[in-house]
Every structure is written in structure tokens, then in C-alpha cells.
Amino acid sequence: MTYVELTAALGVFGFSERDQLTMAQVKRRHRELVKSSHPDLTGETSAPSLDIRRINAAASVLQAYLRSYRFNFSEDEFYRQNPDERLRVQFGSDPWGSS
């Protein structure tokens, strides 16, 4: 896969390269797009607005990228992705009793 293919797939799904996505979000959006474009559900007899083959191809690219992504399990990365937990650890033992 190339970066151009990845950004094109993001565009089909209405995402941008700045979005932080989970596999669940990609699957949910895929289901929404297929449902909204499926001729049996829309009642259209002509070609759907977004070709289902294009949607499925974009889903394959995004899911392949997410499956091959390497995750960092460092404490810093954990707190970056879980800011509420970082705040709880940082301020949870407030000596002034405001917690």
C-alpha cells in the first residue's frame, strides 16, 4: 500500500490523516456507507452514489493498515492515549482534599 492509497481510502470514508481511528470506528463507518449505498436498501435501480466495490476496497486498505500498525506500550504512550488516567494519577492524591 502507498500513502496515496491510504489517504484516498480515508477520503472515501470521510476521515482525514489527522484522525485517530480504531478498527471499530472503521468497521462502523464501512457498515454505514454500504448501507447507505446499497441499491436494495435505497430503492435505486441505477448505480449507487458511492460504488460498493470502492467502499470495500477502501475498507480493505484501512483495515490492513490498522492490522499492521505497531503499538507502543510505554507508560508515556498509555497516558497520551488515556488523558483521564494521567490526570487521576497526577492529581489523585491532592493534599488539599479537593479530590
For residue 76, being part of any structural domain is answered with no
The whole-angstrom separation of Cα 35 and Cα 56 is: 12
Range of the domain at 27: 3-68
N-term to C-term CA, the chain? 49
Task: Read off the CATH number of the domain in which 10 is found.
Answer: 1.10.287
- Counted domains in the chain: 1
For residue 56, being part of any structural domain is answered with yes
pTM above 0.95, yes or no: no
For residue 58, being part of any structural domain is answered with yes
User: Which residue, chain included where needed, has cell 480493505?
Assistant: 60
pLDDT value of position 2: 92
For residue 13, being part of any structural domain is answered with yes
Contacts of 99 by beta carbon, 8 Å cutoff, 6+ apart = 91, 92, 93
CA 15 to chain centre: 8
Q: What is the pLDDT of residues 39-79, one digit of tens each?
A: 776 566 555 556 889 999 999 999 999 999 888 889 999 99
